[in-house]
Structure 1
């Protein structure tokens, strides 16, 4: 199960059941999708994972190494009872140097939220499903690009942002939470609304600007709706 804490660009992955080859494959797929979103942090909730031999330790080490290759690197945090064998195994291997271990999910959320630079994120919270929201989002993206010195991305980022909002207005019609975050030399744009239907990956006439102009994009369900996100990068040769 993958659960998104969207407000802080944090991905939460709850791992449940017996650790086995199938569970490992599910974790790998969830991690691959999470890294594609270039989050600021990934929290793995292991409270309902049964791993008596600590065999899953290698998976969490691999996740941390993969997250470290992002620019900027993403933080990886694990939530588990300190008596669990996997925690003992990770401590034995000295993994606490690069893996953050927490007892509760709330502790992990608080820690990763405190590590996120607020100056690298702007947000419009729960704007109404009106046409005026298109202008508000476009202006916020323009402001972000100007403040962060990323003017080369302003045009394409605004086009992608408008496509996100317009699609939400047409297919969800609920209040929206829009976030733009700086990710090294790229921008992460995301729109969360209360519509439950995820947009299709390829549908003629829908999200065409998003599909054509973004480096990568995706959509995920949340506990009260969905989030659609995109990463915008400058094309090679752009100054």
Structure 2
């Protein structure tokens, strides 16, 4: 598995003209809000990268998405159709994704978006902080359970129990086994490879579940070749964890955060496709 080109590290040094599309999850609140930042001169290539990254964001289905365009060079507002298309895509999801744009008022794009009457349906803010506060006020209380764990051997068990509580409370008993299995593998990976405090979130997404595990290790996970067990350690087989997640979840992926990363998975009753990011 690999990370597709539109996903770049937030730590990459950039000048004002260098093109980039970055995505980062906001790990400071219970609400799952992602921030997508588009920088550089708008052209066909940047449009393709931005559109591809938007599609991946919507696949993850965050509660809210902030599109930061403060570093976008678009003097003729040619990017406006892309953001209007994103608005329609966000509104068409179930539940809808709350979408907001961050465009400084002195940029021509701000006037263009207001002229399209997008402001009524696609809120526009001058700064990311303002957008984050506004989205938090707009989003209703979701069906979500959270748990903060230490990187101890019993962490996977505690996370599995949280999944059981969610499935029983929300009438999703048929998802109990696969969801517990996926959550167990995600938390086990975090304990073994990150070794930091772990934040587990179980969210209802219609008839399915969205599972996320946040830690403070910025390294994104990748599937590796299965290793043969040593004769003295017959159960020590490396590489099965993410393969189990890939085979069980409908979708899964990872995204960097300000303090580390979030690895997530969507579990549904009848997964029709599997996609790893």
Shared fold, TM over 0.5: yes
Gap change, CA 1:86 and 1:199, over 3 Å in 2: same
- Report the 3-state secondary structure (helix = DSSP H, G, I; strand = E; otherwise coil) of the residue aligned with 1:118: coil
**2:218, 2:104 → 1: CA distance?**
33
Q: Does 1:189 align with 2:189?
A: no
Which of these residues, 122, 128, 133, is aligned with residue 99 of structure 1?
Answer: 122
Aligned residue for 1:207, secondary structure, equals: helix
Match of 2:25 in 1: 4
Query: What is the match of residue 110 of structure 1?
Result: 133
Aligned-partner SS, 2:104: coil
- Bigger proportion of residues as helix: 1
Tell me the equivalent position of 2:183.
Answer: 161
Partner of 1:229: 264
SS of equivalent to 1:48 = strand
Deviation larger for 169-178 or 204-213: 204-213
In structure 2, C-alpha distance between the alignment counterparts of 1:55 and 1:151, rounded to whole Å: 48
Alpha-carbon distance in 2 for matches of 1:44, 1:119: 22
TM normalised by structure 2 equals 0.80
Q: CA–CA distance in 2 between the matches of 1:154 and 1:74?
A: 25
Equivalent in the alignment of 1:151: 173
* CA deviations over 1:34-58 (Å, ceiling 9, x no partner): 1110111110011111111111111
Q: Which runs of 5+ in 1 are unaligned?
A: none
| Residues 68-87 of structure 1, C-alpha deviations (whole Å, 9 max, x = no match) | 22111111100112232112
Separation of aligned partners in 2, 1:39 and 1:145: 20
TM-score relative to the length of structure 1: 0.92
Instruction: Please state if 1:134 is matched with 2:156.
Output: yes
Matched residue SS, 1:47? strand
Secondary structure of the 1:15 match is strand
Q: Structure 1: how far apart are the matches of 2:255 and 2:142?
A: 25
Task: Give the superposition deviation at 1:97.
Answer: 2.9
Structure 1 residue 98 displacement after superposition: 1.8
Post-superposition offset of 1:179 = 0.8
